């Protein structure tokens, strides 16, 4: 593997780290935001979900940007959106300005979810493609962990511990200073921390080559040849690689106008919609975005409420690696079966803990909730987290694959926005016990769906998948 290929893919994978960081960083700020901007539970939910609304726009228009501006230049634009969002969110002067800047970051996340993996896939020789695209997925999880860790470290800057009684003047002054820090400075630093990786991403991208496939599509074959010399090809024959790209582009042009929404593609559409919907009905984004709030509701101290999500991030990272290692060995359906059982056990345990301990949570019950949510995160990483994008990419035939993936992505982000918007009101209105019971019920439904409806695609050629789902054109062999 050539050094330039490695450095280019590492740079593109940083888009995944920023993706994960931007997604999770808000988890440490919800309490301060609610206080500073006097937000009701519903308005807090909208403020949090504003970034997810942005992801819908970003994912919807990413393909147009990637084709018009090119993959690398689109990533440069995404890096700029991250930097603007982080700076604006940190300096937000009102609820409206905060929502606007978070929406801008969400557009970047939605675009990165499409373009980063596309760029890596097009720049990589086929024999390394799975590994290098997998590195992007892994970086999303690393970004989530870094956000949790960053939030916790920043929260420690404002901790003042005094031995005197609360009534003394010194203690009262220190407590007032700590409150001002939390509500005026700390949450702004949490958002502002994203500026640094965003700037590094922009600087490194400026030295990265453009996609050879895009260059050929634009008639810039001379530059495409130079890029292929830098990153390598499968057979070592640049002329053959260029010709293969031309053939692929011609085939794609011939198939461009086939409609997605027709009877032939009903089965893959329903599979993609169901998989993307169940992904979010597990409550995964609610847990990622509101983990400190959940732990506070379980009686955790302020320090523990910000530290516990770090352990969830570690579990997410470890089991994402496990899931990626298992997906081609055990299969997509098998991993979703394991994940569904893990979901039911973990969410059911969390619900039982809230029912049992109610408002009387203590250290032991805190650990039960932490362990339950760690198992939940592990179940997601091994199951839905590892499977969803691979499976959606396999079940649609080449003629409509890009639009099928976009449909799955839009469904995923729409449910993520809806659940993130509703979660604060659900938590305060129903309580943690019934919210986790609701998520458990949805995962029971997912288990039945996997058993009854999901087809295994591990090791099955794409043409055979098309035949099994009835999406192949008559007469095509």
Q: What is the pLDDT of residues 380-407, one digit of tens each?
A: 999 998 888 778 877 887 667 777 877 8
* pLDDT value for 158: 59
* pLDDT value for 341: 97
247 falls within a domain: no
pLDDT at 235 over 80: no
Residues 477, 459: Cα–Cα separation, whole Å: 19
% of the chain at pLDDT higher than 90: 36
Residues 385, 363: Cα–Cα separation, whole Å: 30
* pLDDT value for 446: 97
354 falls within a domain: yes
% of the chain at pLDDT higher than 70: 89
Do the Cβ atoms of 53 and 103 come closer than 8 Å?
yes
Q: What is the mean pLDDT of the chain?
A: 84
* pLDDT value for 126: 66
* pLDDT value for 375: 96
Q: How far is CA 60 from the centre of its chain?
A: 16
Confidence grade of residue 145 (pLDDT, cut at 50, 70, 90): very high
Q: CB 4: neighbour CB atoms within 10 A?
A: 17
Confidence grade of residue 214 (pLDDT, cut at 50, 70, 90): confident
> What mean pLDDT do residues 99-122 have?
86
Residues whose CB falls within 8 Å of the CB of residue 244, separated by 6 or more in sequence, listed in order:
none
pLDDT at 242 over 50: yes
Q: Where are the alpha helices (DSSP H) in 158-193?
A: 169-180, 187-192
Both structure tokens of 450: 């996997």
* pLDDT value for 340: 96
Residues 9 and 153 in one domain: yes
Q: Which residue has the higher pLDDT, 440 or 181?
A: 440
Residues 194 and 277 in one domain: no
Domain that holds residue 422: 262-477
Is the pTM here over 0.95, yes or no? no
pLDDT at 173 over 60: no
Give backbone dihedrals phi and psi of 177, rounded to 5 degrees, phi first: -65, -40
> What mean pLDDT do residues 29-37 have?
89
* pLDDT value for 326: 87
394 falls within a domain: yes
66 falls within a domain: yes
Residues 170 and 40 in one domain: yes
Residues 157 and 304 in one domain: no
- Work out whether the CA dihedral 324, 330, 332, 338 comes out positive or negative: negative
pLDDT at 238 over 90: no
> What mean pLDDT do residues 45-57 have?
89
CATH assignment at residue 407: 1.20.1250.20
Residues whose CB falls within 8 Å of the CB of residue 6, separated by 6 or more in sequence, listed in order:
none
Q: How far is CA 197 from the centre of its chain?
A: 17
Q: Which of 166, 193, 208 is the last residue of a domain?
A: 208
Residues 445-477: tens digit of each pLDDT: 999 999 999 988 887 766 677 778 877 654 444
> What mean pLDDT do residues 96-109 have?
94
Residues 472, 477: Cα–Cα separation, whole Å: 9
367 falls within a domain: yes
Both structure tokens of 258: 């086939």
> What mean pLDDT do residues 153-166 have?
60
């Amino acid at each position: 593997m050539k050094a330039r290929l490695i450095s280019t893919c590492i740079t593109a994978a940083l888009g995944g780290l920023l993706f994960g960081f931007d997604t999770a960083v808000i988890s440490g700020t919800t309490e301060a935001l609610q206080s500073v901007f006097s937000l009701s539970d519903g308005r807090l939910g909208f403020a949090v979900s504003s970034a997810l609304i942005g992801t819908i726009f970003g994912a919807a228009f990413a393909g147009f940007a990637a084709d018009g501006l090119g993959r690398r230049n689109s990533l440069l634009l995404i890096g700029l959106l991250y930097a603007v969002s982080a700076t604006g969110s940190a300096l937000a002067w009102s609820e409206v300005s905060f929502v606007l800047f978070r929406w801008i970051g969400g557009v970047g996340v939605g675009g990165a979810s499409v373009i980063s993996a596309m760029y890596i896939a097009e720049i990589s020789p086929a024999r390394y493609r799975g590994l290098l695209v997998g590195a992007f997925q892994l970086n999303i999880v690393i970004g989530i962990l870094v956000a949790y860790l960053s939030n916790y470290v920043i929260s420690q800057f404002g901790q003042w511990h005094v031995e005197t009684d609360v009534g003394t003047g010194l203690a009262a002054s220190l407590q007032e200073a700590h409150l001002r820090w939390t509500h005026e400075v700390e949450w702004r630093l949490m958002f502002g921390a994203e500026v640094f990786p965003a700037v590094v991403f922009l600087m490194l991208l400026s030295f990265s080559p453009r996609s050879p496939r895009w260059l050929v599509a634009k008639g810039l074959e001379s530059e495409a040849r130079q890029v292929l010399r830098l990153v390598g090809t499968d057979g070592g024959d640049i002329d053959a690689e260029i010709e293969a790209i031309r053939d692929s582009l011609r085939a794609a042009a011939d198939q461009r106008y086939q409609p997605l929404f027709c009877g032939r593609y009903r089965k893959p559409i329903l599979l993609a919609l169901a998989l993307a919907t169940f992904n979010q009905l597990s409550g995964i984004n609610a847990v990622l975005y509101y983990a400190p709030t959940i732990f506070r509701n379980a009686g955790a101290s302020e320090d523990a409420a910000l530290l516990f999500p770090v352990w969830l991030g570690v579990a997410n990272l470890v089991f994402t690696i496990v899931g990626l290692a298992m997906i081609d060995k055990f299969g997509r359906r098998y991993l979703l079966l394991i994940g569904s059982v893990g979901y039911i056990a973990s969410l059911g345990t969390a619900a039982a803990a809230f029912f049992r301990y109610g408002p009387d949570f203590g250290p032991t019950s805190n650990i039960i909730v932490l362990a339950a949510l760690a198992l939940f995160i592990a179940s997601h990483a091994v199951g839905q987290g590892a499977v969803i994008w691979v499976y959606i990419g396999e079940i649609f035939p080449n003629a409509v694959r890009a639009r099928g993936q976009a449909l799955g992505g839009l469904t995923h982000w729409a449910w993520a926005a809806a659940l993130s918007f509703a979660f604060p009101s659900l938590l305060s209105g129903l309580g943690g016990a019934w919210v986790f019971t609701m998520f458990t019920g949805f995962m029971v439904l997912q288990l039945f769906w996997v058993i009854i409806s999901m087809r295994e695609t591990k090791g099955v050629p794409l043409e055979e998948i098309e035949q099994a789902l009835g999406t192949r054109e008559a007469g095509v062999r």
